[in-house]
Structure formats: structure tokens, C-alpha cells
Amino acid sequence: MPPEVSVIIPNYDRHGEMERAVDSVLSQEGVELELLVVDDASGSPPLSLYERLEELGHRVLRGRSRRGPGLCRNRAAEVAQGEYLALLDSDDYWLPGKLSRQLASLRSSGLRIGQVEEIWIRKGVRVNPLKVHRMEAGDLFERSLRAVCVSPSSVLLERSLFLELGGFDEELFVCEDYDLW
């Protein structure tokens, strides 16, 4: 049975954070998922973590030269098997039940893409996002022209939509997500 959701995590030398991100994915319940980690030519990749993932049947794709998160995400999306893509930055993590609740909500809405609200933590302390970054329901397009209020780790979208849009602009080493949204 193919996975419902393909989770994509690009990684470049974020080993401590990466372990927490991976564990938050592997602890998700109520959704069939596959995990694709794309190592963007890390100087010292976390080989024991990568070996563990491969033993669990997940995939680790290794880059030979640093190309940025856009290319990493595009590469993983091309080989992903899930109907939906969930993006997770290597220094972020999800709370339990995030994927199953978001998937149910997206399917019931009839939309092809959706986001959830985030909890921001800085130096171990919860902080409130600035008003310009707060999540709101509805169409965020015009609001996002002033300040992007969508982060990759909060998004779930149909893989077919991602591919129709051409994925992330690989020429952009940063802000590729702003460009796509």
C-alpha cells in the first residue's frame, strides 16, 4: 500500500536538530507515511541516523554538492510515492497527531494545499509571532505579498499540485518557499 504522505526533510549539517525532527515524524500516528531525508552534502553527515532510517524502510538521498533546500525538496518530491507532501525543516519538529489531523482537515475541505498554525520557540522559550506572521483562515495570497506568513513545516499539499507548479525554484538558495507560495 503506498503511503498517504511523503515527508521531506532537507539537511545540511544540522545533526542535533535533525534527530528531533526525524523522531517527531516517526512518532506520527494515524497516517501512512514515508520519510525522505535529503542530505545536501553535509560536511559530516549523521550516518548512524541515516542507517537507522534506511533500516526502517525510509529513504536517504545524498547530494554531492551543496545546492540548497529547494533542489533537495524537488529531488525528493520526484521520487516520493505519497499522494501528499509534507515539508519539514531539519531544525523544526511536529507535535504528535499533526499529520493525521492536518490530512483529515485538508481532505474534508476539498483544497489541495493547507497550513497549520505554528508554535514559535526561541532559546527554549515560547514566543508569540509578530502580527504580520500570525496565521489566519482563508486565502492568504494578498497578505503574503506584504509578508510571507507560511512556513514549509506547516504545509501539507497534494504532490500533483507541487509538480504542476514546477516545485521550488532551484536558482534560489534562500526564500524558495516564499517564491512558491
Residuewise pLDDT in 10s, the chain (181 residues): 889 999 999 999 888 888 999 999 999 999 999 999 999 988 888 889 999 999 999 999 998 788 889 999 999 999 999 999 999 999 999 999 999 999 999 999 999 999 887 776 677 766 666 666 566 666 766 766 666 667 889 999 999 999 999 999 998 878 788 788 7
pLDDT at 110: 92
- Strand pairing report for 155-158 and 125-127: unpaired
The C-alpha atoms of residue 89 and residue 70 are separated, in whole angstroms, by: 11
**Could you tell me the CA-to-CA distances from 108 to 36, 102, 114, 137 in Å, in that order?**
26, 10, 11, 15
CA 14/CA 5 separation, integer angstroms: 24
Cβ partners under 8 Å of residue 78, min gap 6 = none
Q: What is the pLDDT of residue 150?
A: 76
Q: Can you give the pLDDT at residue 14?
A: 86
pLDDT score for 61: 94
Q: What is the DSSP letter of 23?
A: H
pTM of the model: 0.89
| pLDDT at position 141 | 67
pLDDT for residue 93 = 92
Q: Give the C-alpha distances (Å, rounded to integers) separating 82 from 8, 119, 133.
A: 11, 26, 29
For residue 135, the model assigns a pLDDT of: 61
